[in-house]
């Protein structure tokens, strides 16, 4: 019976975890395609996608559509890969487990909220994949989730199947809780950058010991000792062992150059690598060290001065790190900013002088590399997922506007469909308000609130 239940549960998960398939092939013809791949920019190009994958891309004259394809005229329009937001907090019921200094046992995947309207609104800005991250309350935070913006799917259906797991670390003001004074929150170690590094080091001392115990146990088992007793499972340390083994990648919230450097050194001490620094507003000061360590960087375009550790931030940060060999992305950290990452990327052309291709890479292929999903998304290449944006006009511009966003070949946003939908929603709301208003009048004799 129990086995049957588990089997049923497994089936259910499989079903919900599978996104709807694309029914008809789509051909967009005559557009300028910015591929974010070796093909660069293709003028008067065409892209064909079928069954959720890109099946052809090239000059409009070279790409043939199957007879059942929906053909879209892309004249004067632009096509880019779907935008990937390497740092987001949308679609999550909660963000921070802030009561402990090490919260590696929790995961955002357990709290995905598929009803968050931000999923749709960001899709309307061309975003197709988001890295939904744990907050920055703890030196070692929780595990993150990678989702696709499949608006309308349930929580399981949003998850990016096959995306390697990631975990959040955090340095500086937030984990030392310098701004919690007077908020009524209990005091908690650490309270300084020294303490932050110590918490991380202590945790990996523990994790190294824990791994050694498990290795010893497995050696005994392999040596035929059937009586060997396994060490007690520790859900906090399991993820840290994964980090040590290189199967769980660290995304570390950071601001100041010194803390960025120190975390790399702590990681090197334990033989692992910081996969990506998040925010990393002073990355421009230690870009060579980051490149040498092999760390990526995911930063903001031009935010600064909102706190002390952001006071030396400069909008040239992405450009300097790029020039020095770091793989850089521009992220949102916000359900608003996630609606125009194309424009945020364009700012690096102005401040720092990146090329169009370099700027576009900051919000497409580079974040895909950082999330280790670049074999699936992040550029327009045959075989990749059909996560594609059709723009009304040039995307790296303050005038940019999305026409249609596709995820796995399905329309998740379209300007015309949106217009139709809002009429339906307005009608439905009016009907509901009518009912509510009547009830409230009867019950309370007062004017009903209408929002």
Q: Which is nearer to another protein, 229 or 305 (CB)?
A: 305
Q: Is 20 exposed, middle or buried (0-12, 13-18, 19+ CB in 10 A)?
A: middle
**Judged by CB under 8 A, which of 76, 288, 438, 439 binds another protein?**
288
Taking the complex as a whole, the smallest distance from the CB of residue 288 to another protein amounts, in Å, to 4
Distance CA 203, CA 214 (A): 16
Q: Which is nearer to another protein, 247 or 397 (CB)?
A: 397
**6 lies in the site for another protein, by CB under 8 A:** no
**Judged by CB under 8 A, which of 147, 396, 407, 412 binds another protein?**
396
Taking the complex as a whole, the smallest distance from the CB of residue 287 to another protein amounts, in Å, to 8
Subset of residues 427 to 446 that bind another protein, contact rule: CB under 8 A: 429, 444, 446
Taking the complex as a whole, the smallest distance from the CB of residue 232 to another protein amounts, in Å, to 40
Subset of residues 295 to 314 that bind another protein, contact rule: CB under 8 A: 302-308, 310-312, 314
Q: Which is nearer to another protein, 247 or 355 (CB)?
A: 355
The binding track of 62-101 with respect to another protein, each residue x by CB under 8 A or -, is: ----------------------------------------
- Asked if residues 129 and 372 have their Cβ atoms less than 8 Å apart, the reply is no
DSSP state letter for 373 = -
- Asked if residues 196 and 139 have their Cβ atoms less than 8 Å apart, the reply is yes
**384 lies in the site for another protein, by CB under 8 A:** no
The binding track of 120-159 with respect to another protein, each residue x by CB under 8 A or -, is: xx--x-----------------------------------
**Judged by CB under 8 A, which of 418, 420, 427, 431 binds another protein?**
418
Q: Is 381 exposed, middle or buried (0-12, 13-18, 19+ CB in 10 A)?
A: middle
**273 lies in the site for another protein, by CB under 8 A:** no
Question: Which one, of 279, 266, 263, 272, lies nearest residue 136 by Cα?
Answer: 279
Q: Which is nearer to another protein, 217 or 304 (CB)?
A: 304
H or E element: which one contains 42? strand 41-50
Distance CA 247, CA 245 (A): 6
Q: Which is nearer to another protein, 23 or 292 (CB)?
A: 292
The binding track of 154-193 with respect to another protein, each residue x by CB under 8 A or -, is: -------------------x-----x--------------
Neighbours of 247 (CB within 10 A): 11
Distance CA 148, CA 158 (A): 5
Subset of residues 338 to 357 that bind another protein, contact rule: CB under 8 A: 339-340, 343, 346-347, 349-352
**113 lies in the site for another protein, by CB under 8 A:** no
Question: Which one, of 133, 137, 132, 131, lies nearest residue 170 by Cα?
Answer: 137
Of the listed pieces 119-127, 135-143, 203-211, 222-230, which binds another protein according to CB under 8 A?
119-127
Q: Which is nearer to another protein, 248 or 319 (CB)?
A: 319
Distance CA 317, CA 119 (A): 28
Mention every residue, 6+ apart, whose C-beta is less than 8 A from residue 215: none
Q: Which is nearer to another protein, 219 or 431 (CB)?
A: 431
Distance CA 13, CA 432 (A): 34
Distance CA 293, CA 306 (A): 29
**451 lies in the site for another protein, by CB under 8 A:** yes
**336 lies in the site for another protein, by CB under 8 A:** yes
Is 413 in a helix, a strand, or coil? strand
Taking the complex as a whole, the smallest distance from the CB of residue 400 to another protein amounts, in Å, to 7
Distance CA 338, CA 121 (A): 9
Question: Which one, of 274, 236, 277, lies nearest residue 255 by Cα?
Answer: 277
- Asked if residues 395 and 51 have their Cβ atoms less than 8 Å apart, the reply is no
Question: Which one, of 83, 55, 64, lies nearest residue 391 by Cα?
Answer: 83
Taking the complex as a whole, the smallest distance from the CB of residue 24 to another protein amounts, in Å, to 25
Distance CA 139, CA 269 (A): 17
- Asked if residues 408 and 22 have their Cβ atoms less than 8 Å apart, the reply is yes
Per CB under 8 A, residues contacting another protein are 117, 120-121, 124, 173, 179, 284-285, 288-289, 292, 302-308, 310-312, 314-316, 320, 323, 335-337, 339-340, 343, 346-347, 349-352, 392-393, 396-401, 418, 422, 425, 429, 444, 446-449, 451
């Amino acid at each position: 019976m129990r086995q049957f239940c588990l089997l049923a549960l497994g089936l259910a998960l499989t079903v919900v975890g599978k996104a709807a398939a694309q029914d008809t092939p789509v051909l967009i013809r005559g557009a300028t395609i910015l591929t974010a791949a070796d093909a660069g920019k293709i003028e008067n190009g065409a892209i064909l996608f079928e069954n959720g994958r890109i099946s052809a891309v090239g000059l409009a004259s070279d790409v043939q559509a199957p007879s059942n394809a929906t053909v879209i005229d892309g004249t004067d329009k632009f096509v880019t890969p779907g935008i990937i937001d390497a740092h987001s907090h949308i679609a999550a019921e909660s963000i921070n487990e802030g009561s402990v200094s090490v919260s590696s046992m929790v995961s955002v995947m357990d709290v995905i909220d598929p009803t968050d309207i931000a999923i749709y609104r960001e899709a309307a800005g061309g975003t197709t994949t988001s890295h939904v991250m744990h907050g920055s309350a703890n030196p070692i935070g929780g595990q993150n989730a990678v989702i696709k913006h499949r608006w309308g799917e349930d929580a399981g259906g949003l998850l990016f199947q096959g995306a390697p797991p990631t975990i959040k670390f955090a340095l500086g003001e937030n984990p030392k809780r310098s701004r919690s004074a007077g908020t009524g929150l209990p005091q908690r170690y650490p309270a300084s950058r020294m303490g932050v590094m110590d918490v991380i080091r202590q945790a990996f001392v523990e994790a190294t010991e824990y791994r050694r115990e498990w290795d010893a146990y497995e050696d005994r088992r392999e040596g035929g000792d059937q009586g060997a007793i396994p060490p007690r499972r520790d859900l906090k340390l399991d993820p840290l062992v994964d980090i040590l083994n290189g199967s769980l990648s660290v995304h570390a919230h950071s601001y100041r150059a010194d803390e960025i450097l120190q975390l790399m050194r702590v990681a090197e001490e334990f033989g692992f690598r910081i996969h990506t620094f998040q925010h990393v507003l002073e990355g421009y000061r230690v870009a060579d060290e980051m490149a040498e360590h092999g760390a990526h960087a995911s930063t903001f375009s031009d935010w600064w001065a909102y706190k002390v550790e952001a006071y030396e931030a400069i909008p040239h940060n992405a450009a300097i790190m790029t020039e020095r060999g770091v793989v850089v992305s521009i992220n949102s950290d916000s359900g608003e900013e996630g609606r125009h990452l194309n424009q945020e990327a364009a700012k690096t052309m102005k401040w720092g002088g990146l090329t169009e291709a370099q700027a576009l890479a900051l919000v497409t292929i580079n974040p895909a590399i950082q999330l280790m999903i670049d074999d699936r998304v992040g550029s327009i290449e045959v075989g990749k997922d059909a996560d594609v944006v059709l723009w009304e006009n040039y995307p790296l511009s303050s005038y940019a506007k999305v026409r249609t966003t596709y995820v796995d070949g399905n329309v998740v946003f379209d300007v015309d469909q949106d217009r139709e939908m809002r009429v339906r929603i307005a009608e439905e709301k009016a009907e509901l308000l009518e009912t509510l208003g009547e009830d409230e009048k009867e019950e309370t004799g007062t004017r009903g609130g209408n929002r």
